[in-house]
Chain A
Amino acid sequence: MRHLPHTSEEIAAMLSRAGAKDLDTLFKAIPKGLRCDAGLAIPEGMAEQDLWKDLNAVAMQNRTMSCSSSFLGGGAYRHYVPAAVSELAGRSEFVTPYTPYQPEVSQGTLQAIFEYQSQICRIFGMDVSNGSHYSGATAAADAALMARRISKGRKKVLLPENMHPEYRHVVETVIADEKDVGNIPASAGHIDRAALSSMISDEVAAVFVQYPNFFGIVEDLRDVAQAAHEARALMVAVVPEPIALGILNPPGSFGADIAVGEGLSLGLPVSFGGPTLGIFTARRELVRDMPGRICGKTVDAGGRPGYVLTLSTREQHIRRERATSNICSNQALCATTAAIYMSMLGKEGMRELASINAAKADYAKKRLASVAGVEIPFEAPTFNEFVYETARPAADVLDALLADGIMGGIDLGKWMPDMDRRVLVCATELNTKQEIDGYADALAAALR
């Protein structure tokens, strides 16, 4: 076994030093009846080159986005990752340490996380960020728990229908009591303001919004924040595509108390949807109620600047059942990757990338809208995604497109049965005009 260095001489010497006559003796503390003597029914091990061959064969059973035209989004957006980002993030000095519990020998990871927190705060227009969460959806769930904790006694959270269904499901799973979750209906793709006012009460701990929302719509949410604050509830903004904030007003500007997001777009491969990067930010006053690791700046015994994990008295290893969250490991390497990506992009790059994404999606929306039999159901500005509708079931339309090598989008009927003729389409900087035109042609043929 190439990963086990022990020679038989060494094993003998070590056993002798440990006072055991053989390896079995080391396990004598385990009562005989509790041991499994049959061994494991798992295939035999293999040489590295055989494994590599095998893994390649398994990978070949997938069809990649690059070998098709992909218009899939829905919370996982495909972007170009500059070579320097994967190269740096793949350095084993970042990949193979544990959580930086010993700051003197972990300054690299800690400074990278500090820079990540700083960049995220600038993008989101918020005061404080943690060092990462598992994913946008689990960050949303922890935001719901945090809001309930802060509001002491208020249990209800309101989730809009135009929020990503998987995010909504994750929040519902963690709240685990359906009477504590209210679903704010959507009207023409927007939060139904009248419904919201009738639902808001002194039992509500938080009102959630998604920005841009699940249908791609960029909604003005200042009045929602106002309504939440008048009822002394918190507003939690969910941002599955932070690239949008290159050209859109950030959550901090429209009154979000907590803003969470998905950082998959910030330099990570889509990779079937994970590892993801949960972004978690808040107003400064809420920092001691935040979940997760936070990195802070300090000095060492010689007065030189340095970084440490801080505010750990909020956390499970100190406070146990009274901790602000049960989270321990996070997605530090993903946060480091995002810090590198954001540094590569820079101020103007971020703005330009956002503009290009919006331009491609805008072109695609106009192009598909011009196809006979295609309707755009929501009259509203959209960022990188939009919804179209035809007279045929979305599933059939998408099957026909797939036969032409196009992954044409997401069938909204998957979650909303009354929307089974609607498709959610995404375009990013990786979609060429030619691909978009090809989509329009194939769609026209499919609907003919």
Chain B
Amino acid sequence: MSRENTGQTTGTTGLLFEEPTIFEQSVPGRRGTSLPASDVPEFNPCEAFGRLTRDTAPALPELCEADVVRHFTRLSMQNYSKDVGFYPLGSCTMKYNPKIASRAAALPGFADTHPFQPESTVQGNLRVCWELERHLAEICGMDAVTLWPAAGSHGELTGMLMIRAYHTMRGNPRSKVIIPDSAHGTNPASAATCHYGVVTVKSGPDGLLDPAAVEAAMDDEVAAIMITNPNTLGIFEEHFKDVADIVHAKGGLVYLDGANLNALMGVVKPGEIGADLMHMNLHKTFGTPHGGGGPGAGPVAVLKELAQYLPVPRIVKRGDSYRISEKFPESIGRINTFFGNFGVLLRAYAYIRELGAEGLAAATRMAVLNANYVRARLEKAYDLPYKKPCMHECVFSDKLQQAKGIKTLDIAKRLMDYGFHPPTVYFPLIVHGAIMIEPTETECKDQLDRFCDAMLAIAGECEDQPDLVKNAPSRPFRRRLDEARAAKELVLKE
């Protein structure tokens, strides 16, 4: 129960600064960098480039180093971040990011290497990539991995291109992809980018994919099904194997969206239960930081039947040395420059090495325990549309609070006053007013209790003081922002 039942919220406005834009602080003549004296003959751009010479330098702001440091330090203070506290954003797996991983990525031995260096001079980098591929393949129960997709959706696109290549090789690229209505928006968008039509199948009343519905939608023009498992309701798709069999029987492939892999490590290997290929999000499951929206990385793992289509380059091990090879004629080609988001790969490598087999499995167990605990504590105060036991996240709705005219968005904003980042809201789309909570394994019971206490207090406020909730937040740096105005009166730069 609550530690202090004083009715006080714990969010605080703290010592925050109204911060003008960097341009408003610019004073002509100031500068923040020094350049060394030139040791080569003077160079005259006008002489070299003639009319292609720029008339006036780009109007970047002019400030001293200290001004720039204060500006961005003050801006940083306006952010809520994982290092500040609980961040239960469902489907995003906001676990704590170990600092050793970032320190590893900054090691000059890695950071000061170039993608076009001779192979013999980057054996360390290639070893990291090769070993990371092996570890990810093992976790997924797959045979081969590409590390180069820069994000989950980029991994999906890569997977779809491989599916197209696979079917094209068999004489018909096919035209459709089956996607459940509970899927992430990136799934249909990735399929469409790859020129596939999308067939949506409805989830059953229990929130699960219904094998009969898939059977009905399945024909010779279906290239693949994309399934998120556990699904976006946080429920394990228990008919996964049956659905996979149905799709395989008509020559289709099974793509697994691995955004929720944090619920499966050491428990289920997707490659062993019918998935042919999948992406994973290193910035979710493998502890690399989200950076306010990226960079992440979305490696794709495949069974050996699909390995020939993997993007190039591929890392090949011969004896004790590693080589970079592009000699894969069936490959879909290159999907990014160089070696993807290498610095992110390095962080995930450090994470997996530190946790090891037991640690990864324990992380999954604690993630599932935490979600079930939160579910149990909140299920009386908030509507739980699907009653099945949850995996790593649970989805509530605003149904009970709507009686007082309170919406999910209001509850989310009120949580800020209590010092928490809100959960994911209004997703999945199949739950009206969804509130999707993913605590992750790095949170302790006390933290979960404080969050649940806040959620219960808000449920109480919805009854007694609905206006307090409707007008939230009042404690953060800004009150509710006018998103409609932003989209109507576009101000996208200064």
Q: A88-B73, A296-B486 are in contact. Are A56 and B109 (CB under 8 A)?
A: yes
| Chain A CB within 8 A of B456 CB | no
Q: A97-B82, A321-B188 are in contact. Are A72 and B116 (CB under 8 A)?
A: yes
**Closest beta carbon of chain B to A210's beta carbon, Å:** 13
**Closest beta carbon of chain A to B256's beta carbon, Å:** 13
Look across to chain B and name the residue whose beta carbon is closest to the beta carbon of A138. Answer: B336
| Complex alpha-carbon distance, A129 and B283, angstroms | 25
One of B58-66, B213-221, B300-308, B460-468 contacting the partner: B58-66
Please state if A94 and B138 are interface contacts (CB–CB under 8 Å): no
Q: What chain B residues lie within 8 Å of A429 (beta carbons)?
A: 35-36
Q: What chain A residues lie within 8 Å of B485 (beta carbons)?
A: 298-299
Q: Which of B287, B363, B487 has the most CB of A within 10 A?
A: B487
Please state if B72 and A54 are interface contacts (CB–CB under 8 Å): no
Please state if A300 and B478 are interface contacts (CB–CB under 8 Å): yes
Please state if B40 and A103 are interface contacts (CB–CB under 8 Å): no
Q: What chain B residues lie within 8 Å of A75 (beta carbons)?
A: 337-338
Interface residues of B in 305-339 (CB under 8 A from A): 311, 332-339
**Closest beta carbon of chain A to B15's beta carbon, Å:** 14
Look across to chain A and name the residue whose beta carbon is closest to the beta carbon of B413. Answer: A104
| Complex alpha-carbon distance, A166 and B19, angstroms | 41
Q: What chain B residues lie within 8 Å of A318 (beta carbons)?
A: 185
**Closest beta carbon of chain A to B150's beta carbon, Å:** 4
Q: A61-B123, A122-B58 are in contact. Are A102 and B293 (CB under 8 A)?
A: no
Q: What chain A residues lie within 8 Å of B2 (beta carbons)?
A: none
| Complex alpha-carbon distance, A52 and B157, angstroms | 35
Please state if A94 and B49 are interface contacts (CB–CB under 8 Å): no
Q: What chain B residues lie within 8 Å of A352 (beta carbons)?
A: 35
| Chain A CB within 8 A of B397 CB | no
Please state if A363 and B40 are interface contacts (CB–CB under 8 Å): yes
**Closest beta carbon of chain A to B114's beta carbon, Å:** 4
| Complex alpha-carbon distance, A416 and B234, angstroms | 50
| Complex alpha-carbon distance, A301 and B150, angstroms | 37
Please state if B290 and A98 are interface contacts (CB–CB under 8 Å): yes
Please state if B110 and A270 are interface contacts (CB–CB under 8 Å): no
One of A42-50, A194-202, A228-236 contacting the partner: A42-50
What 0/1 readout, one digit per residue, does chain A (283-319) give for beta carbons within 8 Å of chain B? 0000100000111111111101011101111011111
Please state if A343 and B32 are interface contacts (CB–CB under 8 Å): yes
Q: A11-B369, A60-B124 are in contact. Are A273 and B292 (CB under 8 A)?
A: no
| Chain B CB within 8 A of A192 CB | no
Q: A121-B493, A310-B490, A316-B186 are in contact. Are A64 and B71 (CB under 8 A)?
A: no
Please state if B35 and A43 are interface contacts (CB–CB under 8 Å): no
Rank and list the top 4 A-B pairs by shortest CB-CB distance, nearest first: A273-B338, A59-B109, A45-B356, A333-B291
Q: What chain A residues lie within 8 Å of B104 (beta carbons)?
A: 52, 55
Please state if A91 and B73 are interface contacts (CB–CB under 8 Å): yes
Please state if B61 and A107 are interface contacts (CB–CB under 8 Å): no
Interface residues of B in 108-152 (CB under 8 A from A): 108-118, 121-125, 127-128, 135, 138-139, 141, 150-152
Q: A4-B362, A20-B372, A332-B294 are in contact. Are A98 and B94 (CB under 8 A)?
A: yes
| Chain A CB within 8 A of B494 CB | yes
Look across to chain A and name the residue whose beta carbon is closest to the beta carbon of B157. Answer: A326
| Chain B CB within 8 A of A74 CB | yes
Look across to chain A and name the residue whose beta carbon is closest to the beta carbon of B422. Answer: A102
Please state if B153 and A48 are interface contacts (CB–CB under 8 Å): no
Q: Told that A36-B141, A102-B412, A299-B485 touch, could you supply 4 new A-B pairs with CB distance under 8 A? A: A63-B122, A95-B291, A317-B184, A345-B32
Please state if B486 and A39 are interface contacts (CB–CB under 8 Å): no
Residue of A19, A46, A62, A323 near B113 (CB, 8 A) is A62
Please state if B161 and A273 are interface contacts (CB–CB under 8 Å): no
Residue of A20, A218, A297 near B52 (CB, 8 A) is A218
| Chain A CB within 8 A of B57 CB | yes
Q: A40-B360, A98-B87 are in contact. Are A104 and B479 (CB under 8 A)?
A: yes
Interface size, chain A (Cβ < 8 Å): 199
Q: A55-B104, A317-B185 are in contact. Are A301 and B363 (CB under 8 A)?
A: no
Q: What are 30 A-to-B residue pairs whose CB atoms are below 8 Å?
A: A4-B359, A18-B369, A29-B388, A51-B100, A60-B109, A61-B127, A64-B109, A93-B83, A109-B75, A109-B79, A111-B19, A112-B72, A113-B292, A115-B494, A129-B492, A245-B58, A269-B111, A271-B111, A272-B110, A274-B150, A274-B344, A293-B293, A294-B492, A318-B185, A326-B192, A327-B154, A329-B151, A332-B294, A334-B295, A363-B43
Residue of B115, B266, B295, B373 near A273 (CB, 8 A) is B115
Please state if B192 and A322 are interface contacts (CB–CB under 8 Å): yes
Please state if B185 and A51 are interface contacts (CB–CB under 8 Å): no
| Complex alpha-carbon distance, A72 and B369, angstroms | 50
**Closest beta carbon of chain A to B64's beta carbon, Å:** 9
Look across to chain B and name the residue whose beta carbon is closest to the beta carbon of A40. Answer: B357
Q: A272-B122, A276-B338 are in contact. Are A330 and B151 (CB under 8 A)?
A: yes
Q: Which of A41, A106, A302 has the most CB of B within 10 A?
A: A106
Please state if B53 and A249 are interface contacts (CB–CB under 8 Å): yes
**Closest beta carbon of chain B to A148's beta carbon, Å:** 11
Q: A4-B441, A41-B138, A332-B294 are in contact. Are A274 and B338 (CB under 8 A)?
A: yes
Q: A30-B268, A326-B156, A330-B151 are in contact. Are A310 and B442 (CB under 8 A)?
A: no
Please state if A247 and B53 are interface contacts (CB–CB under 8 Å): yes
| Chain B CB within 8 A of A402 CB | yes
Please state if B116 and A297 are interface contacts (CB–CB under 8 Å): no
| Chain B CB within 8 A of A65 CB | yes
Q: A42-B360, A43-B353, A344-B68 are in contact. Are A95 and B102 (CB under 8 A)?
A: yes
| Complex alpha-carbon distance, A115 and B236, angstroms | 43
Look across to chain A and name the residue whose beta carbon is closest to the beta carbon of B424. Answer: A101
Q: What chain B residues lie within 8 Å of A326 (beta carbons)?
A: 153, 156-157, 186, 189-190, 192-193
Q: A174-B157, A272-B122, A326-B153 are in contact. Are A135 and B483 (CB under 8 A)?
A: no
Interface residues of B in 139-185 (CB under 8 A from A): 139, 141, 150-154, 156-157, 161, 164, 184-185
Please state if A349 and B388 are interface contacts (CB–CB under 8 Å): no
Please state if A381 and B49 are interface contacts (CB–CB under 8 Å): yes
Q: What chain B residues lie within 8 Å of A329 (beta carbons)?
A: 150-153, 283, 290, 293-296
**Closest beta carbon of chain A to B380's beta carbon, Å:** 12
Interface residues of A in 183-203 (CB under 8 A from B): none
| Chain A CB within 8 A of B403 CB | no
Interface residues of B in 77-110 (CB under 8 A from A): 77-84, 87, 89, 92, 94-98, 100, 102-110
What 0/1 readout, one digit per residue, does chain B (26-45) give for beta carbons within 8 Å of chain A? 10101111011011111101
Q: What chain A residues lie within 8 Å of B487 (beta carbons)?
A: 296, 310-313
| Chain A CB within 8 A of B277 CB | no
One of A354-362, A370-378, A438-446 contacting the partner: A354-362
Q: A272-B110, A299-B482 are in contact. Are A250 and B54 (CB under 8 A)?
A: yes
**Closest beta carbon of chain A to B49's beta carbon, Å:** 5
Please state if A1 and B362 are interface contacts (CB–CB under 8 Å): yes
Q: What chain B residues lie within 8 Å of A36 (beta carbons)?
A: 141, 266-269, 272
| Chain A CB within 8 A of B3 CB | no
**Closest beta carbon of chain A to B62's beta carbon, Å:** 4
| Chain A CB within 8 A of B358 CB | yes
Q: What chain A residues lie within 8 Å of B412 (beta carbons)?
A: 102
**Closest beta carbon of chain A to B317's beta carbon, Å:** 14
Q: What chain A residues lie within 8 Å of B265 (beta carbons)?
A: 40
| Chain B CB within 8 A of A35 CB | yes
Please state if B109 and A248 are interface contacts (CB–CB under 8 Å): no
Look across to chain A and name the residue whose beta carbon is closest to the beta carbon of B374. Answer: A18
| Chain A CB within 8 A of B421 CB | yes
Residue of B138, B293, B332 near A109 (CB, 8 A) is B293
| Complex alpha-carbon distance, A347 and B61, angstroms | 6
| Complex alpha-carbon distance, A20 and B251, angstroms | 41
Please state if A29 and B273 are interface contacts (CB–CB under 8 Å): no
| Chain A CB within 8 A of B355 CB | yes
Please state if B83 and A96 are interface contacts (CB–CB under 8 Å): yes
Please state if A247 and B54 are interface contacts (CB–CB under 8 Å): yes
Please state if A13 and B445 are interface contacts (CB–CB under 8 Å): yes
Residue of B60, B235, B368 near A346 (CB, 8 A) is B60
| Complex alpha-carbon distance, A362 and B48, angstroms | 10
